[in-house]
Structure 1
Amino acid sequence: MKIDILSLFPEFVEAFFNQSMIKRALEAGLMEMAVTNPRDFTKSRHRQADDTIYGGGAGMLMMCQPLFDACHHVLPEKGKRDRVIFLSPAGETFTQDKAKELYRDYDHLVLICGHYEGVDHRVEEHLADELISIGDYVLTGGELGAMVISDAVARMVPGVLGDAGSAATDSFYEPILEYPQYTKPYDYNGWKVPDVLLSGHHANIARWRRKEALRRTLHHRPDLFGKLILSGEDKKLMAEIREEEKEE
């Protein structure tokens, strides 16, 4: 997997490349990530990458030419397993399912970060394959969104997490929250770790974890719970949960 990020603020993105999980993955050659500054492709001697808005309006808009040229530099010949993504509030909301799709269907992602008042619409119309939003709120630029997508996709690359099972047990890998987890001390202010986790009985521990994951999802994210396909065992666990909560 290769990820290229187009950003006017490469130092911001480079700091992300140097954090623990991503840094180890890059050093081990498990994946490639790079940041490219569209200013390096501007035709202005002042390296101008933005300009005033046609028709009037406050602020400045990123020009399309530097972004097109920067994208063509990192992706000279586009194939079926290459994907150009523009970070935009108009895009599809990013989810774990989308992260899995990007990892499964593509080998090279190019993430375009907007800034200032936005980007010339021709980038959205003629350069990007799709638009993605990380949520319904306003940020200064697309860099944070690009890092969110990169991190979520990187976690699925074999070897990046070190533990092959870690990604599959994360919250949202399926539409269920992760089960509660504990570490030392066993007793803190009278709040004790559930005894089953100290039992050494792996089947009982696995059953408890699934049950508590179902319980957490039901209470904290009923929207996710509604999407979950319950197995026969899950239905038994849910019956136990309802009976327990009826007695409280």
Structure 2
Amino acid sequence: ALFFMLTVVVACLLRPAWGGDKIEISWRARWQTLPDLGPPLIIFIVVIGSIYAGLATPTESAALGVLMALVLTAWKRRLSWMMLREALEGTMRTTAMIMLILIAATFLSFVVTSIGVGRQVTEVITNSGLTPLQTMWLIVALYLVLGMFMESLSMMIATVPIITPVVIGMGFDPVWFGVLMMLLLETALITPPVGLNLFIVQGVRSRGQIRDVMIGSSPFVIALLAMIGLLVFFPDIALWLPRTVG
């Protein structure tokens, strides 16, 4: 988030027109908008606070966040049966989609493990003479190239059962690799020519070509690449929070 904030600031300083028209707002109006931040802040404190206090697991804290959202919605008198129905239907659709993906991933992982692909790839890389760091950079380059032509979810399902045993076999932390994988998948979402988020942004624009969206995403791609480089060289950036939570 800090890298993206810096990217926006630097881009607007170099190209002021990218920031749009300046909006003048008084300090009084700013203070009047602060109460609107209350409900999201309360939910954030409940979710993160329950984890840090040891009162709930991440899954349980997510349920507490949903419960708090319902309480706040009812307190503002905006809760209705129609809203609950739409929320439950959306949750069921998302859950069904995730379960289908997990079933497919489990089946693929079973097949890959049964035929020994992961073990063979691990042996080939181990006997190649490359250092673990050099191998990791090759894996990063592989995901960056695949991200240009594959959808991120398909890429993850197809490669994780093969790549993960290699990474763990070289002594890398699986939690660290999971964070690195998320950054690589986020990069794939905004990398042309098949970046899904690029087409979403183009779809909500009223005019212009998708080439403009691709050019506009380039600073954020650079920021993501910088974050990936920092994670590779300084793994503790990704491991500090899990170690703190325990």
Scaled by the length of structure 1, the TM-score of the pair is: 0.24
Query: By percentage of residues, which structure has more strand?
Result: 1
Scaled by the length of structure 2, the TM-score of the pair is: 0.24
Query: By percentage of residues, which structure has more helix?
Result: 2
